[in-house]
Amino acid sequence: MYSLAAGAHLRHALLTARRGAAPFRHWAVREALPPTLWPLLLALPFTPPRIRDTNGRRETHNASRLFVTESARAGLPACAALAEAFQDEATVGLIEDMCGVDLAGTSLRIECCLDTAGFWLEPHTDIGAKRFTMLIYLSLHEDAESWGTDLLDAGGKLVARASGGFNTGLVFVPGADTWHGFAPRPIAGVRRSLIVNYVGPEWRARHELAYPGQPVA
């Protein structure tokens, strides 16, 4: 039941997303996940890792990262529903039409991020094996609106900042111009977000994938 509701809700959110052109093509999503699912995601038994400094990169502390894996899907209904919503052929087809991207043969990768004070990300582009990126922000803190992703031009200048408001999202197709990051700023509490990617068959960290043996249609 959860997966059916999540998939239909997600597709509606994508269909009604607001498209932007600067500094690169992107979409702003509202009410990304249904109220039947996001409370379960907030209640997941995950705790923020103790990290002093990311050095501007998430991979600095790969061992502490949290993913929606096969075991997470099997043991946590919220993870199963979330993964099924993005694995659904209808969702994949909608994203392909919406973004003009071919996802055939790619695999679903979902990271659950719990960022705390001191977190930051250097400007980067997500090019390579990542064919699609969606960020979903799930922070209930009163300051969460200012915790969205920075969108930058090729020179590193801030052009726009995504809303970090609860249950909003940012979608883009990784490319040479999709510079983004997270400049240092106060985080009082936990900045909760999901990073959803469809990655190509060359992705080596198969243990991070939701369905490592089942590429999307």
Does the residue 162 lie in any domain? yes
> How many domains, in total, are found in the chain?
1
User: What is the number of residues in the chain?
Assistant: 217
| CA distance linking residue 136 with residue 69, whole number of Å | 18
Does the residue 37 lie in any domain? yes
Structure token digits, residue 34: 């249904």
Does the residue 58 lie in any domain? yes
Question: What string of DSSP letters covers 159-193?
Answer: EEE----TTEEEEE---TT--EEE------S-EEE
The per-residue pLDDT for 171 is: 98
Residue 42: Cβ within 10 Å count? 14
The per-residue pLDDT for 200 is: 97
Q: What residues make up the domain containing 60? A: 2-208
Q: In what order do the strands lie in the sheet with 26-29?
A: 18-20, 26-29, 168-172, 130-137, 191-199, 107-115, 66-67
Q: Along the chain (217 residues), what's the average pLDDT of each consecutive run of 10 residues?
A: 79 98 98 97 88 61 78 97 97 98 98 92 93 98 97 96 98 97 94 97 96 94
* Whether the Cβ atoms of residue 124 and residue 179 lie closer than 8 Å to each other: yes
The per-residue pLDDT for 5 is: 86
The per-residue pLDDT for 56 is: 65
Residue 121: CATH number of its domain: 2.60.120.620
Does the residue 20 lie in any domain? yes
**β partners of residue 92:** none
Does the residue 76 lie in any domain? yes
Model's pTM, two decimal places?
0.94
Does the residue 216 lie in any domain? no
Strands 107-115 and 121-124: unpaired
Does the residue 140 lie in any domain? yes
Does the residue 214 lie in any domain? no
The per-residue pLDDT for 55 is: 61
